[in-house]
Amino acid sequence: MASPIQLAPFTGMNNTVDRTVVGKRIAPKIILNACVNQNGQLISKPDSSSVLDLTNGQNWWAGDKWSMIIDDDNLYAWDGITKTDLGETADTDLSFVEIDQTVYISGVSSTSKKFNGETLSDWGITPPTLSPVVTVTEGTLPHGVYSLCFTYAGSPISGNSPITQIEIAGGLNIVNRPDGALLWITPPNSKVLLYAGAVDSVTAIPANVQSLPSLDCTVPPPMKHLTAFAGRVWGTNGRRLYYTEPVLEWWKRNNVVQFDEAIVQVAKIDGVGLFVSSLQNTWFLSGNDPAQMTMRRVGNGAIEGMLVYRGVRYQGQAQILPVWMGPESSPCVGTSEGVILPKKGKLKMNLPSRGTAGKLNLEGEEFLVFSADISSASGNDAETLAAFNNNYI
């Protein structure tokens, strides 16, 4: 009776092993046009098909409901059926995040915007720039020092203007309230600004006890790598990590974490913390409250743009974890305990400083796809480089 043939499962490609070794089973150096599923079986990649005609596609981002596309210097929103023209953009390196079907948009050289499915508007209202100019009139205000400021009306309101202080008894006329602005005033010798309304005079303490919720706030600054985490939007500009207030249209000037290196990626584990990466290092900010977060270094850096999220079972629980490509050409998985390198020592590829990533569904199984132009990076072996240059991978 013939002996059974043992078919060992595939474990993926490996281009680091010594190919001169004889008598040992080794993984293929390069696997072309196929993926390896969790059972070690090869699944053929399907042919590509066009889903949307573009003239000169420069940026494509996909959220839960909306895809945002920059094509020939124009920004479009696409819901899978209708492509909506949102106008020309000079900044093609934009970042996006979708929260409750509203897409927040920003770039380091552009004004931050938001798209609610119907209109594109500013992300927040810029506060008034002028402090109140007042004159004294008759009234019943007790003697004391009063502080006053403006905000613009809106949903939500803007942050406040510079504050005016005056010591009086009687009443106040406001001579320079901007159109659409609201007045806020403290009780005597107090720091709590109360709502007075769209008025040009105050002769008594406001009956409304609503205090100013947007004190010291302004609009979010220009930033990249937008991430929704712990009820805020986080983003970067150079070596600075910014975060909004829980009201996403408000940002305070001290809502910033300073790093020593330029940040190229922000990734999250909801309810746990944030991974912040430069090209050389990755740090983990543990916690949900910015004021109480702790930070530690957990690994090497990241390739900008090559971040995707994957649902997995980790430590017996279903979790959505970030996966990105590191500078050592190995996928990195961010966990609550640090960074895992599942392909470490099996894949060697010098990568450029930027790429892209996405997901591919084959026969009901989800695969992660990373893409970069490695022809711009030196030091790759001839076979690996040829496979990329000839569009095999």
Query: Where is the domain boundary, 189, 217, 245?
Result: 217
Q: Is residue 207 part of a domain?
A: yes
The pLDDT of residue 330 is 77
Same domain, 206 and 292: no
The pLDDT of residue 22 is 47
Same domain, 319 and 389: yes
Same domain, 205 and 288: no
Q: Is residue 18 part of a domain?
A: no
The pLDDT of residue 94 is 95
pLDDT in tens, 227-250: 999 999 999 999 999 999 999 999
Same domain, 213 and 272: no
- Rounded Cα gap, residues 368 and 373, in angstroms: 17
Query: What's the chain's average pLDDT?
Result: 86
Same domain, 290 and 378: yes
Q: Is residue 306 part of a domain?
A: yes
pLDDT in tens, 58-110: 889 999 999 999 999 999 999 999 999 999 998 889 999 999 999 999 998 88
Q: Is residue 120 part of a domain?
A: no
End-to-end Cα, the chain, rounded Å? 43
- Rounded Cα gap, residues 104 and 249, in angstroms: 10
If one counts the domains in the chain, the total is 2
Residue 50 exposed, middle or buried by CB count within 10 Å (0-12, 13-18, 19+): exposed
What is the band of 200 on the pLDDT scale with cuts at 50, 70, 90? very high
Q: Average pLDDT in the 25-51 region?
A: 61
Same domain, 212 and 264: no
- Rounded Cα gap, residues 290 and 280, in angstroms: 24
Query: Where is the domain boundary, 162, 194, 217?
Result: 217
- Rounded Cα gap, residues 223 and 310, in angstroms: 25
CA dihedral over 69, 71, 73, 74, signed as positive or negative:
negative
Same domain, 387 and 300: yes
Q: Is residue 390 part of a domain?
A: yes
Q: Is residue 71 part of a domain?
A: no
Alpha carbon of 28 to those of 228, 349, 367: distances in Å? Answer: 39, 15, 19
Same domain, 278 and 378: yes
pLDDT in tens, 262-309: 999 999 999 999 999 999 999 999 999 999 999 999 999 999 999 999
Q: Is residue 178 part of a domain?
A: yes
Task: Assess contact for 267 and 275: CB atoms under 8 A.
Answer: yes
* Percentage of the chain modeled with pLDDT above 90: 64
Domain of 159, in residue numbers: 134-217
Q: Is residue 91 part of a domain?
A: no
